[in-house]
Amino acid sequence: DDYTLSLGENQTLIIVSNRQPYSHQYETGDEGNKKITVDRPAGGLTAGLDPVMQRVSGTWIAWGDGEADRDVTDKDGTVQMPPEENAYTLRRIWLSEDEVEGYYYGYSNRVLWPLCHGGIWKTEFAERYWQRYRQVNETFAKVIDEQTTPTSLVWFQDYHFALAPRLVQESAPESTFLLHFWHIVWPGWDTFRACPQAKTLLDGLLGNDLLGFHIDRYCENFLDCVDKELEDAFVDYDDNRVRYDGHTTRVESFPMGIDAATIERTADSVSPSFWSEFAREHGFDRETQVAIGVDRLDYTKGIVERLDALERLWEMNPEWQGELTYIQKADKSRSRIPEYQNLQQNVETAVERINDRFGTDDWQPVVYIDDWLTDEELRGLYRYGDAMLVSAVRDGMNLVAKEYVAAQVDCDDRDQNPNLGEDCSEQSGNDMESAICGVLVLSDQTGAHEALGEHALTANPYDTEAFAETIEQAVTMDDAERRERMTALREHVASNDIYAWMDDIFEATQ
C-alpha cells in the first residue's frame, strides 16, 4: 500500500516524540574497539509509529541519550548511522541532566502522568519541574521551526509536549499543519482543575489544528476542561471544535491500532519447540493452564490488583493449585521515581508471598520475568498463553491487549485441533505444539475496552472477588466460546490496525 497518498501533495511529515524510535549503544564490554549496536523498542508508542514513518518517510525529532547516540550524530542533530533501510531522518535533541530530571522525571511523569490517570494524590507540582518542562518544550519548538516549511505536517506525540504546539504555531508559516495525538487519558475537569498550570497547558494544546485522543470520552473531557478553564474559548460540542485566540482546533477520537499483520506473522512462525523450551528456561509447567500478563512496571497497570485476584483464586479454589500458572512479564520503567520503585517492590513482594504460600516442589504459581525478551519470545508467549490478563486501573488505550489478540493465530478457521474437546482445562497439555485459542480478560478502565469489551471478559481490577471469578471463567471456557470471542476480536484488531489509524488521522488533516 502506498501510504504517501494520504498525505497531501508535497506534504512532508515531521514527527515529534520524547522517546526515539531507535537508540545506539556500545556493545557491553567492548568499549576498546567501540562496536556500536542499534536497539529498537519491542512495543509501545515509538515501535507503533516506526512502520508509519517507514512508509511515508520524513523527519523524526526526539530526545537522544547516551554516549553512543552522540558519537553517531552530526552537530546539527542528524543521525549518521540509522539502521539499514531506514526510510526517514532521525534528528536528536540533547537534554542536560537537569532538564531530564525536571521535564521527563518531573513534570511529565510526576505531574501529567498521574494527573491524567486520575491519581491527584501522586502528583508533585514542583515549580522547578514546570520551569524545565517549559524550557524543553521551547527547545523542541526551536528545532521544529528550523525544519518546518509551508507544506509540513508536524505531528506531536503525547503529554511531553503540551506547550510546543502554541510556540510553533506562533512562528511557523500559516499553512503548516499542526497535529497532536495525546496517547494517554484526558481526565475529567474535576481532576484536571487541580493542576496549577491547567490554563497554560490548554492554551499550548490549542495551538494545534487537530488534536486526537483514543476515545470519545477523552475528547469530551478535554472540551469540558477548555469550556470551564478558558473564558475566551468558544467550544462547539456538536462539531468538536474549539475557537480560541483567532484559531480553530478540531478535537477528534482515533483509537490507535497495532501492526497486526507483522505480529501475526511473527507469532505464526515461532519455532515448533518454542513453548517447551520457553517453559524449561523459565521453570514453569506448560501442562497447566497458563495465564499471562505483559506490562511496563507502572502503577496504572493494576499488576498488584491482578496478583491479589490470582491469590484469591488459588485460596478459594484450591483445585487450581498446580493447575494454573501465571506468567508476569514486567519491563522496568521510570525507576528513578520513588512511586515506581515502590511499585516494583510491592509487585515482587506479592509474587514471593504467593509463591511461598501455594508453591510446591513441582509447581510455581507465579513466574516473574523481568529479562528482555526477543520479539519472537514475546509473540510466542502471547500465542501460547491460554489467557491474557489486562487489569489496568486506568489506561488510555492498552496496546498489549491488541497484540495478544493479533498473536492468537491458532484461533483462525483452520482444522480444529482434534486433541481438543469441550473442556480446555484438561486439554491444554496435549503433546502437539499447537496452542488452544486464548481468552482476553480486559479491565473496563482501559480505552481498549470501548471496542474490545464486548468480546473479552470484563474485569474491574478493584473488585478482587469478581476478578478472581472472571479469571476462572476464562480458564474454564469451552473451545467454541473461546473461538467465537477471539474471532470477533481478531477481526476488529486486524481491520483497525496501525495503518488504518494513520490513514484516518491523515485524512482528517486534509
Residue 184 near ligand G6P by CB under 6 A: yes
When the beta carbons of 205 and 309 are compared against ligand G6P, the nearer one is: 205
Residue type, 175: S
Q: Which three cell numbers stand for residue 457?
A: 471478559
Residue 286 near ligand G6P by CB under 6 A: no
In DSSP notation, 78-96 reads BBS-PPTT--EEEEEE---
Residue 19 near ligand G6P by CB under 6 A: yes
Task: Give the largest Cα separation in the chain, rounded.
Answer: 71
Residue 394 near ligand G6P by CB under 6 A: no
Residue 123: what are its φ and ψ, rounded to 5°? -80, 155
User: CA 253 to CA 134: how far, in whole Å?
Assistant: 27
When the beta carbons of 158 and 410 are compared against ligand G6P, the nearer one is: 158
Residues numbered 124 to 143 that lie near ligand G6P (CB under 6 A) are: none
For the CB of residue 182, give the shortest distance to ligand G6P in the complex, in Å. 9
When the beta carbons of 44 and 188 are compared against ligand G6P, the nearer one is: 44
What is the x/- site pattern for ligand G6P, positions 456-485, by CB under 6 A? Answer: ------------------------------
Q: Which of 24, 117, 180, 183 binds ligand G6P (CB under 6 A)?
A: 183
When the beta carbons of 112 and 235 are compared against ligand G6P, the nearer one is: 112
Q: Which of 139, 333, 355, 473 binds ligand G6P (CB under 6 A)?
A: 333
Task: Give strand ranges (E) for 87-139.
Answer: 88-93
In DSSP notation, 1-22 reads --GGGGSPTT-EEEEE-SS-S-
Q: Which of 50, 65, 69, 158 binds ligand G6P (CB under 6 A)?
A: 158
How many beta carbons lie within 10 A of that of residue 2, not counting itself?
7
Residue 45 near ligand G6P by CB under 6 A: yes
User: CA 91 to CA 441: how far, in whole Å?
Assistant: 40
User: CA 77 to CA 89: how far, in whole Å?
Assistant: 10
When the beta carbons of 250 and 334 are compared against ligand G6P, the nearer one is: 334
Residues numbered 351 to 380 that lie near ligand G6P (CB under 6 A) are: none
Listed residue (151, 145, 161) closest to 17, CA to CA: 161
Residue 57 near ligand G6P by CB under 6 A: no
What is the DSSP-derived secondary structure letter of residue 249? Answer: E
Residue 402 near ligand G6P by CB under 6 A: no
When the beta carbons of 100 and 194 are compared against ligand G6P, the nearer one is: 100
When the beta carbons of 158 and 305 are compared against ligand G6P, the nearer one is: 158
Residue 115 near ligand G6P by CB under 6 A: no
**451: helix, strand or coil:** helix
End-to-end CA distance of the chain: 19
Q: Which three cell numbers stand for residue 111?
A: 505531574
Helices 164-171 and 198-205, packing angle to 10 deg = 50
When the beta carbons of 20 and 176 are compared against ligand G6P, the nearer one is: 20
When the beta carbons of 6 and 108 are compared against ligand G6P, the nearer one is: 108
For the CB of residue 213, give the shortest distance to ligand G6P in the complex, in Å. 12
By rule CB under 6 A, what count of residues binds ligand G6P?
8
Listed residue (286, 389, 275, 383) closest to 328, CA to CA: 389
Residue 82 near ligand G6P by CB under 6 A: no
Residues engaged in binding ligand G6P (CB under 6 A)? 19, 44-45, 158, 183-184, 333-334
